[in-house]
Structure 1
Amino acid sequence: MKDFRGEKETSSQTKDTEKVSSSPNGDLAETNQKSSKWNPKIYRGERSYTQQGSDKVKDNYTGLIWQRKGSNGKFTHPEAEAYCKRHGMRLPTIEELYYLADVTQKDSPKIDNDYFDIKADWYWSSTPYRDNSDAAWVVYFNNGLDSMYNHTDTGYVLCVSGQ
């Protein structure tokens, strides 16, 4: 199965880990996400979005529905999960969130600004960090890279629904 960047192959027999890119050069890191839980229909290239009312955006490639605007305030990881749940959505996986980062954008935030209105800062994912169960992966939209933060740190939220 191809990873979400479409550049490297991962084993289809992976049961406890999913390999995800943690840098623009395609280096892979392992998370404890099960590979069977995520449909890697994502590719890095031309994006296609459709505005869904004033507050949602549909990714025409993955079928995911995103909030158009990220949260105004910062939240701990548990607060971020509750925030999305209150909106009838969920936190995105690191793969889903990382796909939105568009490093070809000249200015920050590194996302399609015609459809999304977010801050050039980092956003929580639902994907736990493999070596620390009290941490999760995040994506920086100021540069399009990812990292990890402890659940007690505060970051922005961009919720998603679907798949």
Structure 2
Amino acid sequence: MQPLHAQTCHNDITPTTPTQDFTRHDDGTVTHNKTGLIWMRCALGQNWNGATCTGSGQAYTWPAALQAAEGFSFAGHNDWRLPDIKELNSIVEQACMSPAINAMVFPAAPSTWFWSASPYAGYVRDAWSVSFGGGSDGAFLKTGSDRVRLVRGGQ
């Protein structure tokens, strides 16, 4: 993986999401071959121009993120959904940061927090989020604002 933008990747750490683990499609989607999940390459609010994602993405509260996914239509499909925490963590690139994602597969990815569909059992007002700045996860108030990347398949 080559570092793009401000991304820093460490050559002494084995990549957790190598490019060959994904099949990139011309429609702005990518299939993660290990999980069979199909991901949007761009965050919601970004636009796919055929080569990369443009824009910075839109921030949503957790209820708004769930609602935005319902019936969302992209690349000829309307069964997109918010990923659960395990699914979202499956695309974190542990060898990189800022963003902690494979930038060849998910170009121009925001280095920020992304919502999962998983509520936090420890506090009903929280839900799980993943930081694509540093690759960690945590539970945050559902009324807070995070980005969204949709997925289809699985479950």
TM-score (norm 1): 0.69
Higher RCO by CA contacts (8 Å cutoff, separation 6 or greater): 2
Counterpart secondary structure, 1:81 = helix
Q: Deviation string for 1:81-114 (max 9, x for gaps)?
A: 1222223211101011011111202x41011100
Partners in 2 of 1:63 and 1:124 — Cα distance? 20
Give 2:42's aligned amino acid: K
8 Å contact 2:17–2:102 — kept in the other structure? no
Please tell me whether residue 130 in structure 1 is matched to residue 121 in structure 2. yes
8 Å contact 2:17–2:91 — kept in the other structure? no
Partners in 2 of 1:46 and 1:100 — Cα distance? 6
Q: Could you list the runs of 4 or more consecutive aligned residues of structure 1 that deviate by over 3 angstroms after TM superposition?
A: 44-47
How many Å apart are 1:54 and its aligned residue? Answer: 3.2
Partners in 1 of 2:101 and 2:113 — Cα distance? 12
Match of 1:49 in 2: 22
Please, which of 134, 142, 145 is the counterpart of residue 133 of structure 2?
142
Counterpart secondary structure, 1:83 = helix
Please tell me whether residue 95 in structure 1 is matched to residue 86 in structure 2. yes
Please, which of 121, 145, 150 is the counterpart of residue 154 of structure 1?
145
Please, which of 101, 105, 123 is the counterpart of residue 115 of structure 1?
105
How many Å apart are 1:149 and its aligned residue? Answer: 1.0
CA pair 125-46 structure 1, distance change in 2 beyond 3 A: closer
8 Å contact 2:66–2:81 — kept in the other structure? yes
How many Å apart are 1:75 and its aligned residue? Answer: 0.3
Give 2:24's aligned amino acid: Q
Q: CA RMSD in A?
A: 1.5
Give 1:90's aligned amino acid: R
Partners in 2 of 1:147 and 1:160 — Cα distance? 20
Structure 1 residue runs without a partner (length 5+): 1-43
How many Å apart are 1:62 and its aligned residue? Answer: 0.5
Partners in 2 of 1:77 and 1:64 — Cα distance? 22
How many Å apart are 1:151 and its aligned residue? Answer: 1.0
How many Å apart are 1:131 and its aligned residue? Answer: 1.3
Match of 2:7 in 1: none
Give 1:53's aligned amino acid: D
